């Protein structure tokens, strides 16, 4: 194998695996993919020799592509295979899609030591580690011993400066568990930052039926995705990489404008619809954008967020227009419940930079305030159900806007005008 992936989910199969399969040198870059937690995806994929159907779902019809980039899939508890693949000198790249929550970041972006403590203790006892920072460290420790040489780590989750983000939690974990490894990681591991974009919903039983009808292949785990795809990367690959640029990926020196555009406009817009849109009774993104009220809210949020994306106004206007078309693709069933998950991890990335900037400039941004208020309504039980391992402390305080803000953004909780504006924007009980 030359690529190891952690987080064998739908997005990896629609995005990184698709780029690899579409590169002209794909045959030289087989992927070993590991699930993040439960083994199901590995079992199902191995039963069909790693091959799966990608249903590229346009507004009019589906196009089925067979993807064969995954050479072998492993359950997350196959620690030996993980260590062996990371140690092998041929392995040049590790990609990750483990959700925002998987990095165990605290509010400042460092390792949340309380969530990592059991894993650090397991390592010190000589037991297998389970968390993402722990597994990366365990694999790299093996690579140092084997003399496997330099390697690139390429996170593909929706976090700003995700290369630096994964580096930080990995160094924090290693400093606690295996300090002697820190200098080797510093010298041998390159952390690549990426902006990733391709809307990829969960697969339904109907999708399984459609895939079978189009291909004749009885695929238990097809993936549905939109035609649009974007991958922007910044960083060094010391042991090489596939020619992803031939499949449309772009390699840039400054990734900030690209990631701000995507995280604030697309992901922030998604979160707005997931919370405020679901409380209006909508179930999917496409449903919500047919609602004129939701479209007005989106426009208001995008006006505010655009001030934080360092790109020319014309480019932003085009991107907004294209987003409306992508969101409106009614054949993609992207549920607001899926997007609403893990809000405690997503709001700090997608919304708070704009809220903070506007408040610092003396403004009360109605769009950003609506997202926070919608999230508080969701914590109080309105709209999409709560699915967030970090939600409990917020739910315990959800009755008070100020208390929620004190946890989410302590620097903003003392601002009486902001607290009143968020409170005013929350749903009021009907009498
Ligand atoms: N689906 C999309 O449209 C999309 C687009 C861009 C980026 N992404 C990124 O990809 C991530 C995964 O999305 P998906 O659609 O593939 O979801 P998915 O549910 O299909 O797969 C998620 C993968 O992450 C793993 N995982 C989840 N929590 C983990 C944890 N705490 N530790 C380790 N692994 C964990 C799961 O085991 C699974 O392998 C998103 O969270 C996002 O950051 C998704
Ligand atoms: O995948 P998540 O959970 O980080 O966020 C949900 C959506 O906002 C996200 O998946 C977008 O669809 C995606 O980022 C589009 O590229």
Instruction: Write the DSSP assignment of 410-427 as a string of letters.
Output: GGGTT-HHHHHHHHHHS-
pLDDT by residue for the chain (431 residues), tens only, comes to 799 999 999 999 999 999 999 999 999 999 999 999 999 999 999 999 999 999 999 999 999 999 999 999 999 999 999 999 999 999 999 999 999 999 999 989 999 999 999 999 999 999 999 999 999 999 999 999 999 999 999 999 999 999 999 999 999 999 999 999 999 999 999 999 999 999 999 999 999 999 999 999 999 999 999 999 999 999 999 999 999 999 999 999 999 999 999 999 999 999 999 999 999 999 999 999 999 999 999 999 999 999 999 999 999 999 999 999 999 999 999 999 999 999 999 999 999 999 999 999 999 999 999 999 999 999 999 999 999 999 999 999 999 999 999 999 999 999 999 999 999 999 987 76
Residue 193 lies in a domain: yes
Residue 195 Cα, ligand 1 centroid: separation in angstroms?
15
Residue 301 lies in a domain: yes
Q: Judge contact between 191 and 167, C-beta under 8 A.
A: yes
Q: What pLDDT, on a 0 to 100 scale, did the predictor assign at position 396?
A: 98
Do both 142 and 68 map to the same domain?
A: yes
Nearest CA to ligand 2 atom 8: 267
Q: How many CA atoms lie within 13 A of 219 on its CB side?
A: 31
Nearest CA to ligand 2 atom 7: 339
Which CATH number fits the domain that encloses residue 408? 1.10.1040.10
Do both 288 and 243 map to the same domain?
A: no
Helices (H) and strands (E) in the chain, counts: 21, 12
Residue 359 lies in a domain: yes
User: Could you give the ipTM of this predicted complex?
Assistant: 0.98
Residue ending a domain, among 200, 217, 251, is 251
For ligand 2, pick from 266, 301, 333 the residue to mutate: most ligand atoms within 8 Å of CB.
266
**What count of other Cβ atoms lies within 10 Å of the Cβ of residue 88?**
17
Do both 392 and 294 map to the same domain?
A: yes
Residue 430 lies in a domain: no
Residue 431 lies in a domain: no
Do both 228 and 309 map to the same domain?
A: no
Do both 183 and 265 map to the same domain?
A: no
Nearest CA-CA partner of 168 in 110, 92, 81: 110
Residue 190 Cα, ligand 1 centroid: separation in angstroms?
22
Ligand 2 closest atom vs CA 157: 4
Residue 246 lies in a domain: yes
Do both 277 and 182 map to the same domain?
A: no
Ligand 1 closest atom vs CA 7: 39
Q: What pLDDT, on a 0 to 100 scale, did the predictor assign at position 31?
A: 98
Tokens 């097809």 -> residue: 222
pTM value?
A: 0.96
Do both 91 and 30 map to the same domain?
A: yes
**Distant-in-sequence, close-in-space partners of 401: CB < 8 Å, separation ≥ 6:** 373, 376, 419, 422, 423, 426
Residue 35 Cα, ligand 1 centroid: separation in angstroms?
10
Do both 19 and 106 map to the same domain?
A: yes
Nearest CA-CA partner of 198 in 230, 175, 170, 221: 230
**Distant-in-sequence, close-in-space partners of 325: CB < 8 Å, separation ≥ 6:** none
Nearest CA to ligand 2 atom 5: 339
Residue ending a domain, among 251, 275, 306, is 251
Q: What pLDDT, on a 0 to 100 scale, did the predictor assign at position 366?
A: 98
Q: Judge contact between 262 and 251, C-beta under 8 A.
A: no
Cα separation, 247 vs 256, whole angstroms? 22
Do both 242 and 263 map to the same domain?
A: no
Residue 40 lies in a domain: yes
Q: Judge contact between 6 and 83, C-beta under 8 A.
A: no
Domain range for 52 is 3-251
Which CATH number fits the domain that encloses residue 135? 3.40.50.720
Ligand 2 binding pocket includes 262 (Cβ within 6 Å)? no
Q: Judge contact between 62 and 203, C-beta under 8 A.
A: no
**Total number of domains in the chain:** 2
Nearest CA to ligand 1 atom 41: 99
Structure tokens at 209: 């039926």
SS3 content of the chain, % helix, strand, coil (to 5): 55, 15, 35
* Ligand in nearest proximity to the CA of 270: 2
Write down the H helix ranges in 88-221.
113-125, 132-146, 162-177, 182-188, 205-215
Q: Judge contact between 402 and 384, C-beta under 8 A.
A: no
Residue ending a domain, among 199, 223, 251, is 251
Q: What pLDDT, on a 0 to 100 scale, did the predictor assign at position 321?
A: 97
Do both 235 and 303 map to the same domain?
A: no
Do both 302 and 208 map to the same domain?
A: no
Residue 350 lies in a domain: yes
Do both 214 and 201 map to the same domain?
A: yes
């Amino acid at each position: 194998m030359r690529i190891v992936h952690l987080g064998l989910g739908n997005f990896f199969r629609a995005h990184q695996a698709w780029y690899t399969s579409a590169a002209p040198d794909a045959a030289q870059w087989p992927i070993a993919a590991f699930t993040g937690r439960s083994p199901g995806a590995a079992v199902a994929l191995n039963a069909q020799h790693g091959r799966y159907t990608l249903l590229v779902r346009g507004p009019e019809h589906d196009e089925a592509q067979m993807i064969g980039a995954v050479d072998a899939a492993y359950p997350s508890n196959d620690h030996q295979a993980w260590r062996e693949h990371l140690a092998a000198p041929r392995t040049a790249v590790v990609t990750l899609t483990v959700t925002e929550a998987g990095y165990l970041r605290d509010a400042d972006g460092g390792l949340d030591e309380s969530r990592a403590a059991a894993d650090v203790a397991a390592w010190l006892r000589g037991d297998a580690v389970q968390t993402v920072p722990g597994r990366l460290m365990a694999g790299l420790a093996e690579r140092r011993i084997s003399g496997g040489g330099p390697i690139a780590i390429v996170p593909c989750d929706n976090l700003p400066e995700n290369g630096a983000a994964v580096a930080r939690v990995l160094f924090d974990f290693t400093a606690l568990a295996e300090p002697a490894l820190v200098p080797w990681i510093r010298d041998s591991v390159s952390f690549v930052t990426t902006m990733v974009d391709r809307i990829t919903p969960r697969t339904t039983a109907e999708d399984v039926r459609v895939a079978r009808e189009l291909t004749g292949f009885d695929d238990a785990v097809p993936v549905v995705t939109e035609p649009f795809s974007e991958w922007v990367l910044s960083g060094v690959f010391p042991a090489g990489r596939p020619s992803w640029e031939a499949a449309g990926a772009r390699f840039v020196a400054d990734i900030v404008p690209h990631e701000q555009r995507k995280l604030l406009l697309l992901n922030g817009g998604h979160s707005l619809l997931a919370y405020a849109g679901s409380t209006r009774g909508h179930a999917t993104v496409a449903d919500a954008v047919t609602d004129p009220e939701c479209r007005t809210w989106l426009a208001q949020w995008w006006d505010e967020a655009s001030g934080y994306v360092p790109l020319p106004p014309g480019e932003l206007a085009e991107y907004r227009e294209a987003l409306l078309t992508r969101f409106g693709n009614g054949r993609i069933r992207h549920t607001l419940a899926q997007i609403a998950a893990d809000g405690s991890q997503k709001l700090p990335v997608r919304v708070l930079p704009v809220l903070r900037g506007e408040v610092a400039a003396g403004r009360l941004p109605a769009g950003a305030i609506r997202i926070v208020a919608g999230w508080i309504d969701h914590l109080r039980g309105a709209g999409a159900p709560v699915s967030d391992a970090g939600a409990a402390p917020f739910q315990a305080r959800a009755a008070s806007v100020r208390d929620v803000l004190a946890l989410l953004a302590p620097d903003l909780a003392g601002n009486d005008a902001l607290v009143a504006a968020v409170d005013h924007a929350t749903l009021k009980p009907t009498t």
